[in-house]
Structure 1
Amino acid sequence: MNDLFSLQGKRILITGSAQGIGFLLANGLAKYGAQIIVNDITQERAEAAANKLTQAGYVAKAVAFNVTNKADIDKAVSQIEQDIGPIDVLINNAGIQRRHPFTEFPEQEWNEVIAVNQTAVFLVSQAVTRHMMERKAGKVINICSMQSELGRDTITPYAASKGAVKMLTRGMCVELARYNIQVNGIAPGYFKTEMTKALVDDQAFTDWLCKRTPAARWGDPEELIGAAVFLSAKASDFVNGHLLFVDGGMLVAV
């Protein structure tokens, strides 16, 4: 039973992992023995992040590809499988945020949000799970959100994309579980990150958040690592189609 949470030797591809929560997850999972495949749209940033991990004593490789470009994805995944090794775990982390009132939201920015947050999850997962199906083993973790369930002013396309990823997670589970592939999601609540800096700096919002959340505080991004370890490890082998909310109890409170 001692290996329930071990990631020793597992290869984990994390999209958008050169910085932010993606890099934090990469570093956290590496501590449990995972070999990290760092992804960014640019090779320079991917290599810089991978170098930080290797300098810390971990095993990491850098593979740049555009998560919204199918040809780019398919080529990169084939390269990883052939040159680095089988992908045991895929974490679909890449995401963007744009803020405008709904009736003024530019169509181009809607398209960008949907492409990165939703379509990319579909395309990357397709490419990776084809190989997992052949091996009859694998795990996919989709980074969802509180906005997979709840709406909020000025971010309707983001909420739409994350709601879609929730249902994509469930649909993938239904089709892929028979191949011993577990597909789950992590749905963070409100965490102090670069993406939420404007809200963190807004004292009125922070006061509201602390009253609205049973834990009465912002989340620390490192508190996402445990969920990622669990869903990447043997401990979650019969957990499938599930969204694990890491939100300090916000979703269940009224």
Structure 2
Amino acid sequence: MQLQQLFGLTGKKALVTGASRGLGQAIAMALAEAGAEVLCASSAPGGSDATVAAIRQQGGLAQAFSSDLADSNAVIQLAEKALDYAGHLDILVNCGGTISRTPAVDFAFSDWQQNLAVNLDATFLLSQRLGAAMIERRSGKIINIASMLSYSGGITVPAYTASKHAVVGLTRALANEWAGFGVNVNAIAPGYFKTDNTAALQANSDRNQQILSRLPAGRWGEPSDLAGAAIFLASSASDYVHGHVLAVDGGWLAR
């Protein structure tokens, strides 16, 4: 098989949540560059307009959608609207997420519920609805976004950590059920990337230095560093990869 056939996404249709900025935006643009039509979802109406405009400027196909991922009914509606628009979806990237930083003894239960709803519940609901359609077609790729905190406990982020451990478990559970139907369910675990979610860490000189000192790559990741991993897991190149968590971490886990 030619490389273009292995890694190309021409004619494929993808839904990417969290596509307004950061990692989601980078993944959406990478999938579009590889040939996919990308449905770019954000939490607020108009949030993905810049991503859609950038994709179209490069000659790609994209459409903006929005959904409050903390609202289960809105998430289900997003899945239905995406299917109505596209007819079918070949790729789902569950990238939308949130994080709250508070010591566990002071952590508000409302923040706990918000983190779990956005990071875990929405991932399950979108995977369930769109995965069912993929099973019918016996073809599809689902990519969940895990974290380095899928491997460790972190500090002052109990809800985020719990949700990202659960995302890995969900990824493997769905892979066990759906691999035989031609649906690949995998995850990417980004390391320390320059995004809104890590702004507090980047601004803390002591914590920033601690992180950099452990990174063999010697730098924070840029959102574009996820492009290759996303294309691999979305393409035919990963047809025999199921339930895998691909760490893109600058060597963090190796250290």
Q: Is the shorter-chain TM-score for this pair beyond 0.5, marking a shared fold?
A: yes
**Structure 1 residue 245 and structure 2 residue 247: aligned?**
yes
Structure 1 equivalent of residue 205 of structure 2? 203
Which residue does the alignment assign to 2:214? 212
Structure 1 residues 101 and 241: alpha-carbon distance in aligned structure 2, compared to 1, 3 A threshold:
same
Match of 2:17 in 1: 15
1:184-195 to 2 correspondence within 5 Å? 184-195=186-197
Q: Which residue does the alignment assign to 2:27?
A: 25
- Look up the SS of the partner of 1:17 in the other structure: coil
Residues 202-249 of structure 1 show CA distances to partners (whole Å, capped at 9, x for unaligned) of 222222112212222211221111100000000000000000000111
Give SS of 1:196's match: helix
Q: d(CA) in 1 for partners of 2:193 and 2:40?
A: 22
1:9-88 correspondence to structure 2 within 5 Å = 9-88=11-90
Tell me, yes or no, if the aligned pair for 2:72 and 2:121 is still in contact at 8 Å.
no
Equivalent residue number for residue 103 of structure 1: 105
Q: CA deviation at 1:57?
A: 1.6
Aligned positions, number: 253
Task: Please say if 1:159 is aligned against 2:161.
Answer: yes
Structure 2: distance between partners of 1:197 and 1:42: 21
Q: In structure 1, the residue corresponding to 2:116 is in which secondary structure?
A: helix
Work out the CA distance in 2 between the residues paired with 1:73 and 1:116. 10
Q: Structure 2: how far apart are the matches of 1:71 and 1:102?
A: 29
Aligned: 1:150 with 2:152: yes
Q: Distance in 2 between matches of 1:74 and 1:120?
A: 9
AA in 2 matched with 1:17: A
Letter in 2 for 1:244: L
2: CA distance, partners of 1:37 / 1:132: 16
- State yes or no: 1:140 paired with 2:155: no
Kindly indicate whether the alpha-carbon contact (under 8 Å) linking 1:68 and 1:120 is maintained by their aligned counterparts in 2: yes
Contact 1:34 1:59 in 2 (8 A): yes
Is the contact made by 1:209 and 1:216 (CA closer than 8 Å) also made in structure 2? no
Contact 2:75–2:122 at 8 Å: present in 1 too? no
Measured in 2, the distance between the counterparts of 1:221 and 1:79 equals 27
Question: TM-score with structure 1 length normalisation?
Answer: 0.95
Structure 2 Cα separation of the partners of residues 175 and 183 of structure 1: 10
Distance in 2, matches of 1:117 and 1:43, equals: 19
Distance 2:155 2:75 in 1: 33
SS of residue paired to 1:62: strand
SS across alignment from 1:68: coil
Distance 1:194 1:69 in 2: 22
Q: TM-score, normalised by structure 2?
A: 0.94
In structure 2, stretches of 5+ residues that fail to align are none
1:82 maps to a residue whose letter is D
2:204 pairs with 1:173: no
Aligned to 2:119: 117
Instruction: Report if aligned partners of 1:73, 1:127 keep a CA contact under 8 Å in 2.
Output: no
Shift of 1:46: 3.3
Instruction: Say which SS state the counterpart of residue 197 (structure 2) adopts.
Output: coil
1:147, 1:159 within 8 Å by CA — same for their partners in 2? yes
Identity %: 39
Q: Which moved more, 1:216-225 or 1:87-96?
A: 216-225
- Once the two structures are TM-superposed, the CA of residue 21 in structure 1 deviates from its matched residue by 1.4
The structural deviation recorded for 1:48 is 4.5
- Between the aligned partners of 1:251 and 1:48, the Cα distance in structure 2 is 34
Structure 1 unmatched ranges of 5 or more = none
Q: What is the alpha-carbon distance in structure 2 between the residues aligned to residue 227 and residue 11 of structure 1?
A: 18
Query: Any conservation in 1 of the 2:186–2:245 contact (CA below 8 Å)?
Result: yes
Q: CA deviation at 1:56?
A: 2.8
**Rounded Cα–Cα distance in structure 2 between residues aligned with 1:75 and 1:200:** 36
Rounded Cα–Cα distance in structure 2 between residues aligned with 1:132 and 1:208:
43
Q: Which runs of 4+ in 1 moved over 4 A?
A: none
Residue by residue over 1:14-72, the C-alpha shift from the partner in whole angstroms, topping out at 9 and shown as x without a partner, is 01212221111111211111110011233322344323322332100122223333433
C-alpha contact 1:12 1:37 (8 A) present in aligned 2 = yes
1:225 to 2:227 alignment? yes
